[in-house]
Amino acid sequence: MKIFKNTFFALLAMIGVFASGLAQAADAAVSAVATASAVASASAVAPAAAPAEVPLNWHAIVMFVLFVAVTLVITYWAATRTKTASDFYAAGRGITGFQNGMAIAGDYMSAASFLGIAALVYFNGFYGLLFSVGWLVGWPIILFLIAERLRNLGKFTYADVVSFRLKQGPVRTMAAISSLIVVIWYLIGQAVGAGQLLHTLVPQISYRESIVVVGALIITYVTFGGMKATTWVQIIKAGLLLGGATMMAIGVMAHENFSFAKLFNDAVAAHPKHLDIMKSVVPIGAKANPIESISLGLTLMFGTAGLPHILMRFFTVTDSKAARKSVLYGTCFIGFFYILTFIIGFGAIVLVANNPEYVADLTKSVLVLKGGGSMPAVYLSHALGGDFFLGFIAAVAFATILAVVSGLTLAGASALSHDIYANVIMKGTATEKQEVWMSKMMVIGLGVLAVILGIAFEKQNVAYIVALTFSIAACTNFPILVLSLFWRGLTTRGAVLGGYTGVFGSIGLLIIGPTVWTKVLAMGPAIFPYDFPTFVVLPTVLIVAYIASITDNSESAKKERAAFDAQMIRAETGLGAEVGASH
């Protein structure tokens, strides 16, 4: 434990030095600007002055440092209570339904949700809200089909459930590969987003420094505090995000005299599309293809239900009843949040669009903002509450990224240490101490990898990452998980062939699709014409798994089918499931 204390003090000192360095940098910048101004005044023929230094956003930095300090204290507390593999992976199974609901919301409501959905409403009006509904629709599927059975059958990862009555080695390997692909690519997207967001809000911090800070914090949270620290980071972040979004929505409605009619009328008058922003069938971009829309909807619905870091949360609660409650709470929090983003988006149309303080060039467009298309919510906070509120929202957005990346890192480390190392390589002979040690090494490795990839992808178009992660989750994790839970006939051969069909089918069609083939590789018209391949790959996975299973007449396949009854009894009743520990 002594090494933990020393490490924490070193990290706190690092933050202090980091903040001190920013202060010195700011002072130096101010001095340089002052000196330059004096010189310029003294000489009437002096050349034009360099562009003014962007002022340091002290409000954002103070709140960011405060959040980091609080979460590090929580991590220290969690580290003193993390002794076993169950503590590390599943927080000792002592998280309540309400706490897990908040953590799920914190895990799920990413910066992309907060900034992205508000931006969609800002640019497209009512259609932005419909886009967000696709993600939310996935939650009832988890609530009614998966959550309770996951808690009763699983131990630490979703591969525990899929391989419950099947061969451990091949099924866990397939499940771990699909989980890792989702986790790593999701990490890249979040890391790039974190670097860009922090660099945009606090230009004095370079993109690479931002990535390194994020990586160091994530490694600290997860390595020392495991699932307990990760859970509480997500709970705090969810509270901050819901609180901040609520204050923004109240501010918007107060500006509009708490009248939705006035809000919509003012938005219609301010937006260049006018009444078109109230239509629900306006396509985003140039395409209005029903197949694309259906495939997008399938990807969002089933992909949500197949994300490994979300599924892992159901192993942290005390029992199956708490698992159901946590989905209910999580759904309510997330639904409430998306309603707020709708108000925030329309509020941004009224208060941010046409405002020369935020718009890049009013002569070209009244919507295009300084800093990029994700800034409407950020600028709205400044319009409502000045620099202080902007600093708060900026810190919340950054905390959002930290919380999501923590969950992703833990899910990836679990797949490597629990599924691959402990159950495939060591075949169940590894001790808890060895497995936890391996998990921490994997966390460090994934954290370093996220930093390296985040820097490597700085200039890359990462728009396809969302399509890739959700497509693999929808086409591999979700169908194989559902088949293993509800279909007696699934065998190891069907699960493995179906799973790999989902992995390689999703990747292959994405590569030859318009997002990668045309936009990233610039190879001309795409071979596969749709951005999201789920409408093709998902049915193919089901067909492959079905045919491979029913044609498997081996002795092992017969035993796997016979074991379905015992699995069903445990899934429905919880008999034999691990009991949660209060803490």
- More confident of the two residues 496 and 67: 496
pTM: 0.80
**Minimum mean pLDDT among 27-36, 252-261, 362-371: which range?**
27-36
Confidence band, pLDDT 50/70/90 cuts, at residue 99: very high
Q: How confident is the model at residue 366 (pLDDT cuts 50, 70, 90)?
A: confident
Q: What is the pLDDT of residue 106?
A: 83
Highest mean pLDDT among 123-132, 274-283, 297-306: 297-306
Distance from chain centroid for Cα 138: 15
Average pLDDT over the chain, rounded to whole? Answer: 80
Write down the pLDDT at residue 257.
92
The predicted pLDDT at position 112 comes to 67
How high is the pLDDT of residue 46?
A: 43
pLDDT at 280: 60
More confident site: 40 or 142: 142
CA angle 519, 523, 529 (to 5 degrees): 65
Concatenating the DSSP letter of every residue in 13-56 gives HHHHHHHHHHHHHHHHHHHHHHHHHHHHHH-TTPPPPPPPPPPP
What digits encode the pLDDT tens for the residues 488-514? 999 999 999 999 999 999 989 988 988
pLDDT digits (tens, 9 = 90+) for 377-387: 888 998 998 88
d(CA 365, CA 373): 12
For residue 253, what are its two tokens?
Answer: 């409605």
Tell me how far CA of residue 422 lies from CA of 61, 155, 163, 171, in angstroms. Answer: 42, 13, 14, 14
Dihedral of the alpha carbons of 15, 17, 22, 24, in degrees to the nearest 10: 160
Name the packing angle between helices 555-562 and 492-511 (round to 10°): 90
Burial of 261 per CB tally in 10 Å (0-12, 13-18, 19+): exposed
Which pLDDT value is given to residue 42?
38
pLDDT, mean of residues 525-547: 92
Radius of gyration of the chain (CA): 25
Say what the pLDDT of residue 25 is. Answer: 37
As a whole number, mean pLDDT of residues 99-106 equals 89
Question: How confident is the model over 408-432, as a mean pLDDT?
Answer: 88
Residue 560: the pLDDT is 94
Least confidently predicted of 15-24, 158-167, 414-423: 15-24
The residue-averaged pLDDT of 315-333 equals 87
What pLDDT, on the 0 to 100 scale, is given for residue 155?
A: 78
pLDDT at 196 over 80: no
